[in-house]
Amino acid sequence: MVRPLNIAFIHPDLGIGGAERLVVDAAISLQKRGHRVVIYTMHHDLSHCFAETRDGTLDVRVGGNWLVPRSIGGRFHILCTILRSLMLARQIVNDSEQYDALFVDQLSAPIPLLKYTHAHIFFYCHFPDYLLARRDSLGQKLYRAPFDLLEEFTTGEADEIVVNSRFTQETFRKAFPHLSKIPKVLSPALNFEAYDRPVDSGDPLLRALLTEKRIVLSINRFERKKDIGLALQAFALCLQRNSATGNGAKRAAINNCCLVVAGGWDPRVSENTQYLKELDAQAKQLGLCTRTISPQRASKEALALLPDGAVGAPTILDDDDDSPTDQLASIDVLFLPSFTENQRAFLLSAARCVVYTPTNEHLGIVPLEAMYMRVPVVAADSGGPRETIQHGQTGYLCEPAEDDFAAAISKLLTMDDNKWRVMGDAGHDRVKLAFSLDTFGAKLEHLIVDMLQRPTHASVVLGVIATLFIIFVVALTLLLTWWR
């Protein structure tokens, strides 16, 4: 029997992405196993977060954001994020509570400072940030160099390092050749209870999604690395090929469909706002008719950042409303930024297939969600999806090219319903067997308990040295920036 532990999670931005879903599920799983859990974060928007973080299920504490902005003139994001994380770490160090373990993810920079808590530090690496940053110019390379060195150094200071897939494990070893530690693999899981809840059909926000068309669904944050444009190109090619060669029932099945592009969209993040507009323009250039539904409770400033013509979803149901039942009858592509959990549940229950376009994605929680909801997945044949999707049984793995994706989408749209259900059931069974929250929680607890049996990886003295190193890196970065 494991004694109850006091565990704190440290996560930069508690939004609605895959990393946030993992943190929330990990916290819930440990809480259910009798441990006390607290989540520290630098940002928590109650209108843009998972329900468990705002309904009292989890204790969420915000800090580190009162002095340093998210960016300076739209630049220096990583520098500002590190400084904010250090301020949050200082708050945790000064907290009167004593923690047995700290679960840190995404950002390793505060680890040396967190050594002052005398807690063991468990670092969950979703993917090395070193490999996600752009270095298109000499200036960018100079700017990133100290941060890349800092990431490797501070990651190595953790008492336990865990990654989300075998793909990330191998990538980690290549990215950080100076670290002798080989990270262990702990794949994310799904909280099945959250997906088993029935859709709230009385939710007025669902009205804008009502359609008799078959839905092809894409769920991703609006970031360029997610390659959502591939979904647009493949969908357009589907329609084009069908018009030229399709016949009978198959032609009708493909013609009567709609692509819904849903995902995280934060008006504070310039890439989110820019990329959504780029996708809308791309879809129109492909000859597709688009519509954008504005997020619920979006501010006037946020609404101004949406593509032209964005419309709001109804907030109340009006029995006398004479608008058409099929809201998407004339729409080819619907953009749904910052959708709600009930909208997500509705779309997953109604989708014919889910299109997952990122290449070399470290794992990808969306394919797991889709398969659990009995929806076949079309994904790029690389990275984490190779470990979750069984080609030809729970979906299709394709080369990241519009021809391959279009062929797979067409196959699912025109597939016999019985065969489609068999594929959906296979996906459901696979996720239930291999990615349950109970199994994940047991493995996570075992890893943490095992870590606590060992002495902490480094002393407070080394933490002081590492903290001074961080300050030096920040100063050097500012100097290089000024010099440029």
Residue 473 has pLDDT above 80, yes or no: no
Residue 136 has pLDDT above 80, yes or no: no
Report pLDDT digits (tens) over 322-341. 555 788 889 999 999 989 89
pLDDT at residue 106, as a whole number: 85
With a CB cutoff of 8 Å and minimum separation 6, the contacts of 15 are: 43, 45, 48, 49, 264, 266
Q: What is the pLDDT of residue 394?
A: 97
pLDDT tier, 467 (very low <50, low <70, confident <90, very high otherwise) = low
pLDDT at 461: 47
Q: Which of 135-144, 337-346, 434-443, 466-475 bottoms out in mean pLDDT, i.e. has the lowest?
A: 466-475
C-alpha to C-alpha distance for 479 and 475, rounded to whole angstroms: 6
Q: What is the pLDDT of residues 232-280, one digit of tens each?
A: 999 999 999 877 665 666 677 777 899 999 998 989 888 999 999 999 9
Contact 397, 356 (CB under 8 A): no
Q: How far apart are CA 286 and CA 123, in angstroms?
A: 44
CA 198 and chain centroid, separation: 23
The pLDDT tens digits for 356-366 are: 999 988 888 99
- DSSP annotation string for 42-92: EE--TTSS-GGGTSSSSEEEE-S-SSS-S-BTTB-HHHHHHHHHHHHHHHH
Higher pLDDT among residues 332 and 317, named by residue: 332
Task: Give residue-wise pLDDT tens across range 274-298.
Answer: 999 999 999 999 999 999 999 988 8
